[in-house]
Chain A
Amino acid sequence: QQPVQSPQAVILREGEDAVINCSSSKALYSVHWYRQKHGEAPVFLMILLKGGEQKGHEKISASFNEKKQQSSLYLTASQLSYSGTYFCGLTQGGSEKLVFGKGTKLTVNP
């Protein structure tokens, strides 16, 4: 089942922060986050596993709330290079496949 991402799109000025949410109605095992720029393949950002962990990658971090079956991606002090479409992908029990949400288009302006 496809995860639900919100918002669908967000426009920021350089230096501003953003939060992208990803939720599922089914129990989650792990959450992947990827960024895709126009015409290119998605690039891996991070994976979060069951256990409510948080992770960080420079100024991009994420959390995984197993009970709420949701994950959030936090982008702080955004840079122009952060522009792109962010996808969360979920793995669910018993299934060796990754199902992606519809994506959140992030635009960072100078």
Chain B
Amino acid sequence: GAVVSQHPSWVICKSGTSVKIECRSLDFQATTMFWYRQFPKQSLMLMATSNEGSKATYEQGVEKDKFLINHASLTLSTLTVTSAHPEDSSFYICSASLRSIYNSPLHFGNGTRLTVT
């Protein structure tokens, strides 16, 4: 149980275009989903917390207008990278938890490798 599916696995886009990444919880309802970004050989940096039916909470330094997050249902959250630039190239991973992350693990999607040319 607790499977998180992320799509696409990889995407290559041209500078200036937008890319949408989907994150679905397949066998549970996720009130909250978390979006992380990981640069090569670096840590998982939390970008934003996505809450179903409300606005996402962004971490300091993450541009809200650039990284649009929509959590329209209890099983789907999307991250749209708008007007992508080469510096946005990274590994984006979504995650969700069955209960409070205080005592419940995060279940990660397989990640999306974004390359902006």
Contact = CB atoms under 8 A, between A and B. Distances in A.
Interface stretch (A12-20, A36-44, A62-70, A76-84): A36-44
Contacts of A97: 34, 46, 49, 101
Interface of A: 2, 29-30, 32, 34, 40-44, 47, 49, 87, 89, 91, 96-103
Contacts, number: 58
- Closest 6 A/B residue pairs (Cβ): A41-B108, A44-B105, A100-B44, A102-B43, A41-B110, A100-B43
A96 B43 contact: no
Interface residues of B, number: 22
Contacts of A47: 103-105
Contact of A103 (B43, B106, B109): B43
Given A2-B43, A97-B34, A44 B106 contact: yes
Given A98-B34, A99-B46, A103-B43, A40 B110 contact: yes
Interface in B40-73: 42-46, 49
B107 A44 contact: yes
Contact of B49 (A2, A87, A96, A102): A96
